[in-house]
A and B are shown apart, each in its own frame.
Chain A
Amino acid sequence: DSNTDFVLANVLDDEKRSQIINFVVQLQQEDGSFAGDEWGEIDTRFSYCALSILSLLGAMDRANVDRAVQYIASCQNMDGGFGSMKGAESHAGQVFCCVGALSIAKSLHVIRHPDLLGWWLAERQVDSGGLNGRPEKQADVCYSWWILSVLSILGRVDWISKDKLAGFIAKAQDPQDGGIADRPDDMPDIFHTFFGIAGLSLLGKLPQSKSSPTSSSTSSSTSLAYREIDPVYALPVDVVVRCGLSAQVFKGKDGAVQERLKHYEVLERN
């Protein structure tokens, strides 16, 4: 695949690429799950990592994707969410790993109740506008990524209040040093700064094009154009397109698919 070769040029030679693929593939277990290493910690985080790696390297056919999908499907809970393993509590971070993996595997159809999942995710929005990761826990900026990315894949981003979430993220920015914290008034860190910006990108709050010269601008600063982030691979959309990476997303209610997802396979909602 020429696009993947573009990614690997000057970075990974054939031998190193093969080694990585072999390493990942031999971590797949009988039941389709993936271990993190040869000593075998199992977690749906590793399912996501494995499928993302294989997709990036153009080697999805080397793993048993059907079984990987079946394992992820078995991690669905009665509330519609997903956990780290079968039976584990639904957690927004694990939901991202599972739905992201299913998207890469083009197998979103195994989600038994996408509406229920979408609603469970929407219920994470609390009065402050922030999102928590599980019922009755505190809102945290990082869930702006873990949850919005899934809602984007599910075509249900409008099931939360985008403005209220954007407000929460904005309030979590430290006015002194500029970084973003997990919630307003806490100390910022790089982790939450990344997820805050990613969240704002998915919310469509970061302008894509520089404003025209005729628009009013009192400051001398140039207006910024931001790249868009892709909700499946957590890479800039232009990188995903350039590398020819594929995935699957649900159509939005109005039949529209977000502009940033147009290169992906689209699944109808039933």
Chain B
Amino acid sequence: IMEVFVDLTPIPQDDGPERVCVIQYPTSFTLAYNYLRAVWAADELSERALRLSATCLKLNPANYTVWHFRRQCLNSLGLLSDKEAIQKDLNLAGTLGGSNPKNYQIWYHRRALLESYGARDFCDSELEYISAVLREDSKNYHAWSYRQWIIQSVDEEDLWQKEIEYASRLIEDDIRNNSAWNERWFAVHRGKRGNALSIDTTRMEAQFAIEKGAADPYNESPWRYLIGILKEQHQSGNDAATELIIEYEAKAYDARSVLIDADRDPDGCSNLTSVRIDLLEMVGDKESLQKASTLATGLANEYDLIRKKYWRLRADQLQQRLCVLSA
């Protein structure tokens, strides 16, 4: 470094007039960052500055300002439109991220590069990279956010289809992976909100969810998904939607057999019971509302004591709706 930057005077870190705590940086760290400060003071955006930024990032991959500076160098050198250079920087980010894939800056760098160049050319390789990270940590929030951004940017039908399959595979691997369920929702809705799915797609999604729910009724995610899917239809209020909801209320009741077969109390799984309450409420006739209210009271008094105040409120609300119907 000293040879390359012989024309510059290194600038030590200015910790202000009253230093509370002095960090003992290793010599290599101090040297690299002293020269980086000199480069900044000289307003230099060059090849050697780019190389120095890599050195500094290897020493501290979380240094936000250095990542920003690196992008400025890339921009100045015209490299943001150079496919090879982009790939090299993606590789650098990958190397630096290896030991800490939760570093915000590394994920943002990947996105910034693709925002500049365009996501299409790197779509496949980036999705592959993200899959590799998710194999290590299937719920890495940054990885999933970045994945969603790429798919939404490219926005091609076969990509959406492949993503539904990807989410399904991850759910098969671990039915408790809420991130994968969220991704399925995202892909099935093509990243948009507002329009409900077709009744056929809804049925397919509801069936997927209830099968996974029945596999382990204590697992939260499939039940949230099921209710979300059916609520969307419920809002439309059409006959096909009502029929579907009645059908799935019955299926949710049948799922109790899974618990019975396992010698468990079929009303003791609060996740399953809460699904039944939601579905009965959607069905909305007097008998269903009464059943729902009884189930909610059961949760409040016995089966989900930790949330008893919520369930008592819920039972009250259901009773109120019953009163209105009876009047």
A residues neighboring B (CB under 8 Å): 37, 39-41, 74, 77-79, 84-91, 118-119, 122-123, 125, 134-137, 156, 158-161, 164, 253
Q: How large is the interface on B (under 10, 10 to 19, 20 to 34, 35 or more residues)?
A: 35 or more
Contact residue among A41, A84, A87 (Cβ-Cβ distance under 8 Å from B141): A84
17 A/B residue pairs, CB under 8 Å, sorted by A: A39-B71, A40-B112, A40-B115, A41-B111, A74-B193, A78-B228, A84-B145, A85-B145, A85-B149, A88-B144, A88-B145, A89-B141, A119-B310, A125-B306, A135-B220, A156-B310, A159-B307
Given contacts A91-B141, A161-B307, 15 further A-B contacts (CB under 8 A): A41-B104, A41-B108, A85-B149, A86-B191, A87-B191, A88-B144, A89-B178, A119-B310, A123-B220, A134-B139, A136-B178, A136-B221, A137-B178, A161-B305, A164-B306
- Residue on B with the closest CB to A76? B193
Q: Which residues of B contact A88 (CB under 8 A)?
A: 141, 144-145, 148, 182
Q: List 3 tightest A-B contacts by C-beta distance, closest first.
A: A78-B228, A89-B182, A136-B176
- Residue on B with the closest CB to A119? B310
Q: Which residues of B contact A159 (CB under 8 A)?
A: 307, 309-310
> Is B55 engaged at the interface, CB distance under 8 Å to the other chain?
no
* A86–B178 CB distance below 8 A: no
* B185–A78 CB distance below 8 A: yes
Chain B 63-95 interface mask (CB, 8 Å, partner A; 1/0): 000001001000000000000000000000000
* A118–B310 CB distance below 8 A: yes
Contact residue among B104, B115, B179, B232 (Cβ-Cβ distance under 8 Å from A89): B179
> Is B286 engaged at the interface, CB distance under 8 Å to the other chain?
no
CA distance A99 to B311 in the complex (A): 23
* A78–B306 CB distance below 8 A: no
Q: Which residues of A contact B231 (CB under 8 A)?
A: 78
> Is B258 engaged at the interface, CB distance under 8 Å to the other chain?
no
CA distance A119 to B314 in the complex (A): 10
Within 8 A of A (CB), among B174-197: 176-179, 182, 185-186, 191, 193
Q: Which residues of B contact A123 (CB under 8 A)?
A: 220, 307
Instruction: Choose among A77, A78, A84, A88 the residue with the greatest number of B CB atoms under 10 Å from its CB.
Output: A78
> Is B321 engaged at the interface, CB distance under 8 Å to the other chain?
no
* A87–B176 CB distance below 8 A: no
> Is B219 engaged at the interface, CB distance under 8 Å to the other chain?
yes
CA distance A45 to B110 in the complex (A): 20
- Residue on B with the closest CB to A126? B306
* A39–B68 CB distance below 8 A: yes
A233 to chain B: closest CB distance in Å?
A: 23
* B185–A161 CB distance below 8 A: no
> Is B313 engaged at the interface, CB distance under 8 Å to the other chain?
yes
CA distance A198 to B150 in the complex (A): 37
Instruction: Choose among B111, B152, B178 the residue with the greatest number of A CB atoms under 10 Å from its CB.
Output: B178
* A134–B178 CB distance below 8 A: yes
CA distance A211 to B152 in the complex (A): 59
* A87–B139 CB distance below 8 A: no
> Is B291 engaged at the interface, CB distance under 8 Å to the other chain?
no
Q: Which residues of B contact A84 (CB under 8 A)?
A: 141, 145
> Is B203 engaged at the interface, CB distance under 8 Å to the other chain?
no
Q: Which residues of B contact A89 (CB under 8 A)?
A: 141, 144, 178-179, 182
Instruction: Choose among B68, B111, B220 the residue with the greatest number of A CB atoms under 10 Å from its CB.
Output: B220
CA distance A119 to B54 in the complex (A): 46
Contact residue among B108, B224, B228, B306 (Cβ-Cβ distance under 8 Å from A160): B306
CA distance A253 to B312 in the complex (A): 12
Contact residue among B112, B148, B177, B228 (Cβ-Cβ distance under 8 Å from A39): B112
* A136–B177 CB distance below 8 A: yes
CA distance A133 to B20 in the complex (A): 34
Q: Which residues of B contact A122 (CB under 8 A)?
A: 307, 310
Q: Which residues of B contact A39 (CB under 8 A)?
A: 68, 71, 112
Q: Which residues of B contact A37 (CB under 8 A)?
A: 68
CA distance A41 to B108 in the complex (A): 7
* A87–B309 CB distance below 8 A: no
Chain B 46-71 interface mask (CB, 8 Å, partner A; 1/0): 00000000000000000000001001
- Residue on A with the closest CB to B68? A39
Chain B 20-40 interface mask (CB, 8 Å, partner A; 1/0): 000000000000000000000
Q: Which residues of B contact A79 (CB under 8 A)?
A: 224, 228
Within 8 A of A (CB), among B214-244: 219-221, 224, 228, 231-232
B86 to chain A: closest CB distance in Å?
A: 16
CA distance A135 to B112 in the complex (A): 30
CA distance A123 to B310 in the complex (A): 10
B104 to chain A: closest CB distance in Å?
A: 8
B318 to chain A: closest CB distance in Å?
A: 12
CA distance A89 to B231 in the complex (A): 18
Q: Which residues of A contact B176 (CB under 8 A)?
A: 135-136
Instruction: Choose among A41, A118, A160, A253 the residue with the greatest number of B CB atoms under 10 Å from its CB.
Output: A41
**Known: A122-B310, A125-B307, A161-B306. Is A136-B220 also a contact (CB below 8 A)?**
yes
